[in-house]
A and B are shown apart, each in its own frame.
Chain A
Amino acid sequence: MAKFSINNVKVDAIYSCVPKHRLKTADYSLFTPAESMLFKKTTGINERRVASDELTCSDLCFKAAENLISELQINLEEIEVLIFVSQSPDYFLPATAVTLQDRLGLNRNCMAFDINLGCSGYVYGLSVLSSLLKSGLKKGLLLAGDKSTISTSINDKSTYPLFGDAGTATLLSFDENSESMFFDLHSDGSGKDAIMIEYGHSRYPYNTFIDEEREYEPGIKRSRNHLALDGMKVFNFALKEVAKSIDECLQFAQNEKESVDFFVLHQANKLINDSVRKKMKLAEDKFPMSIDNFGNTSSASIPLTICTSVKKQIENKELTLLLSGFGVGLSWANVLLKMGPIPVKCIDYD
């Protein structure tokens, strides 16, 4: 079982960056007014931020990290690890993390690598980065996010209105006085078809397998180069696993759910998060939300929610947080940790 605790590491700051351009659910042409209302009620999404053609996820993460470093006057020499968690890297190769090491002006002694995960990626990234830092490295940057809108078809109403773009930067450091983080990580590749972009990599290379869009059902038209989502499978997976694994993580940490200030869940769908909350018999205000303004932002959703919906609390006091990411893979991960008071910020990319 991938349950473990990590000592001597703390979160110092979280910055997020989103494109300025907003798309409103109400303006999506494939929805009737009734569908639009139902979509908003079910998913919680009022609007989302969409990157222009030339803007990448790494640009958003770069902007978040650059602002964090300059505003908090971080010594670049002390950043010894950089991890980029994303499923929308700049290139097939090299790894985007390595290009970001250079763009940010980090030392050549800084180790840098990518992690290819989506919705569970932030918690996975925290686990890998803190494992490295506990051995005594000074500071590390976790850059997490996605430009998911690049892979959805505008003709597919099962994916297009769901996703928003965002990049985030989280600074962690070695600190002997910090309290333990408790991790609980899972994966189930038998559910790989539930969220998939089939074409474009080694199995079906882009130059060989360029696909025309075809209609799967009315309002769902896409190619195999686009993101395909089996909403029912993902929904069932989330309802089956998330509350249960959160409970297991709390048990592992020997902590009661009542002692947690906020459960910051991945923002895939309001109905999922409401269901998890009801299963856990907890109040609505324990589950902050950002999906209403940003849509599903993949691995950025947890830090973005902290930056926007927990800002006031986390900037003023130490909080006990349970972070839970779940989705593509299938992959899901939880961490119980203390965080704060720390600076957090959400920036618009001009």
Chain B
Amino acid sequence: MWDILGQEQLSNIKFVNLIMDIQELITHIENEFDELPNGVLYPETSIREIEGWSSMHALILIALVDNHYDVLLTGEELKNALTVQDLFSIIVNRKS
């Protein structure tokens, strides 16, 4: 299928997939963090500015990513991930 699509179409498909996937990650995070209402997280949301953020949230995130994506984030990676998008990029890079 990929052979018959132009580069632009291909990159659009990848972009759509990416959007869908990051939305899935956001849904997982919103479901896991009880205090977060649905629809408040965006790719550009700063992780540490989530209300009441603590080291326990970091552990929940590590477990969530490990469980759903089979990627075990290191403490350093999580420290460097400022936004949800950064977190998603780490997952994508580690999966590729």
Contact = CB atoms under 8 A, between A and B. Distances in A.
Q: Do A and B bind each other?
A: yes
Interface of A: 34-35, 38-39, 41-42, 158, 230-233, 235-236, 239-240, 269, 271-272, 274-275, 278-279
A235 B57 CA distance: 13
A236 B35 CA distance: 24
24 contacts: A34-B52, A35-B52, A35-B54, A35-B56, A38-B52, A38-B56, A41-B34, A42-B56, A42-B60, A158-B55, A232-B62, A232-B75, A232-B78, A235-B59, A236-B72, A236-B75, A239-B62, A239-B63, A239-B66, A269-B59, A271-B59, A271-B60, A274-B63, A275-B63
B54 A236 contact: no
B6 to A, nearest CB: 41
Closest 10 CB pairs of A and B: A232-B75, A42-B56, A275-B63, A38-B56, A278-B67, A235-B59, A271-B63, A34-B52, A239-B66, A239-B72
Given A240-B72, A275-B67, A232 B58 contact: yes
Nearest to A35: B54
B29 to A, nearest CB: 14
A275 B56 CA distance: 15
B74 interface: yes
A34 B57 CA distance: 12
Contacts of A231: 55, 59
Nearest to A233: B75
B38 to A, nearest CB: 18
A239 B64 CA distance: 11
Q: What's the dominant secondary structure at chain A's contact region? A: helix
A158 B58 CA distance: 13
A311 to B, nearest CB: 29
Interface in B15-39: 34-35
Q: What's the dominant secondary structure at chain B's contact region? A: helix
Contacts of A38: 52, 54, 56-57
B35 to A, nearest CB: 7
Given A34-B35, A42-B56, A158-B55, A236 B67 contact: no
A239 B70 CA distance: 10
Interface in B45-81: 52, 54-60, 62-63, 66-67, 72-75, 78
A232 B59 CA distance: 7
Contacts of B67: 275, 278-279
Given A41-B34, A271-B59, A274-B63, 19 more contacts: A38-B54, A38-B56, A38-B57, A42-B56, A231-B59, A232-B55, A232-B58, A232-B62, A232-B78, A235-B63, A236-B62, A236-B74, A239-B62, A239-B63, A239-B66, A271-B63, A272-B63, A275-B63, A279-B66
A230 B74 CA distance: 12
Contacts of A236: 62, 72-75
A35 B55 CA distance: 10
B59 A42 contact: yes
Nearest to B33: A38
A230 B76 CA distance: 13
Contacts of B54: 35, 38
B62 A235 contact: yes
A39 to B, nearest CB: 6
User: Which of A232, A275, A278 has its CB near the most chain B CB atoms (within 10 A)?
Assistant: A232
A25 to B, nearest CB: 12
Contacts of B56: 35, 38-39, 42
B82 to A, nearest CB: 17
A35 B35 CA distance: 11
A158 B59 CA distance: 13
Contacts of B52: 34-35, 38
A2 to B, nearest CB: 24
A279 B72 CA distance: 12
A34 B55 CA distance: 13
Contacts of A239: 62-63, 66, 72
Contacts of A34: 35, 52
A279 B67 CA distance: 7
A274 B75 CA distance: 20
Nearest to B79: A232
